[in-house]
Amino acid sequence: MAHVIHPTAVIGPDVKLADNVRIGPYVVIDGDVTIGSGTEIGAHTTISGWTRIGEGNRIFPHASIGQDPQDKKHKRDDKTWLEIGSNNVFREFTTANRGTIDGGGVTRIGNGNLFMAYSHAAHDCQVGDGCVLANSVALAGHVHVEDRAIVGGLVGVHQFVRIGTMSMIGGCTKVSQDIPPFAMSVGIPALVYGLNIVGLRRSQMPTESIKALKEAFRVLFFSGLSRSSALERVEREVPQGPDVRRLVEFVRSSERGVTAGSTSVAAEE
């Protein structure tokens, strides 16, 4: 099926459109941009730079995709990229910037993500698959968001932070250290309050795996042990399934430090 372009849209000469792309009123697309089949682009959206967008994405009005990174070291002619997978939704006024030379050159967004209104993915961010960024989430540069993470509204995430798979961050949280996989976190600053039990069950994680993760969380975040001692104890005493091993490796490899457990939960333990 041929693509549909509103007559008020402006499409640059280097833009490559696959079949069945729909482009709304007053859209501006310019630069080395490729857009996959079935993608819909809402009114007043701008897409620029070296940008690759996959199939079946929905980009709502006033989004800004592929603009220069907000980094003082960036030079106007630096050839850096924004790569977006398939079946993502970018709601109104979302922004996703290209990478920087120093940061690897690519901002990368996977498949099936939901970016709610006013959310922002800065330069060199890496967002996995199936994530949700609620309204006004701000990811600073170099943030890594692993698959199926959920970030609540008005959350600010410091640069170079990692957000682990299937974690959930409550609204208005200040995130300055890594959020562990499978965790429920909230606060200013963020604190870990336990497992994302509902998310794990919805993912059909086996009961034994959830039980092992719960014990690992108790030792790592609520036992009062040092991080190194807690890791040793988890490896020694907790069944080492793939999810526990992923948690342990995430914590061990952290460069910014991992978000601490809440003392109120530790007291209950």
Which residue of the set 71, 124, 178, 243 is catalytic?
124
Cα separation, 106 vs 139, in Å, equals 15
Cα separation, 140 vs 143, in Å, equals 6
Q: What is the CATH number of domain 4-145?
A: 2.160.10.10
Q: Note the pLDDT of residue 269.
A: 55
- Residue pair 121/91 in contact (Cβ under 8 Å)? The answer is no
141 counts as catalytic: yes
- Residue pair 78/61 in contact (Cβ under 8 Å)? The answer is no
Q: Note the pLDDT of residue 76.
A: 86
- Residue pair 157/238 in contact (Cβ under 8 Å)? The answer is no
- Looking up tokens 């630069």 gives 31
Which residue of the set 123, 142, 144, 158 is catalytic?
123
Q: Sheet with 64-67: list strands edge to edge.
A: 10-11, 28-29, 46-47, 64-67, 95-97, 120-121, 138-139, 156-157, 174-175
Average pLDDT of each block of 10 consecutive residues along the chain (269 residues)? 91 97 98 98 98 98 98 93 98 98 97 98 98 98 98 98 98 98 98 96 96 97 95 97 98 97 71
CB atoms within 10 A of CB 201: 11
Domain limits, the chain? 4-145, 160-269
- Looking up tokens 């999810």 gives 243
Q: Which of 131, 126, 11, 124 is nearest to 71 (CA)?
A: 124
124 counts as catalytic: yes
Which residue of the set 36, 141, 164, 261 is catalytic?
141
For the entire predicted model, the pTM comes to: 0.96
Decide whether 4-145 matches 160-269 in CATH topology: no
Q: Note the pLDDT of residue 223.
A: 95
Q: Which of 207, 208, 169, 213 is nearest to 191 (CA)?
A: 169
Q: Note the pLDDT of residue 266.
A: 59
Cα separation, 234 vs 255, in Å, equals 20
Q: What is the CATH number of domain 160-269?
A: 1.20.1180.10
Cα separation, 225 vs 228, in Å, equals 8
Q: Note the pLDDT of residue 150.
A: 98
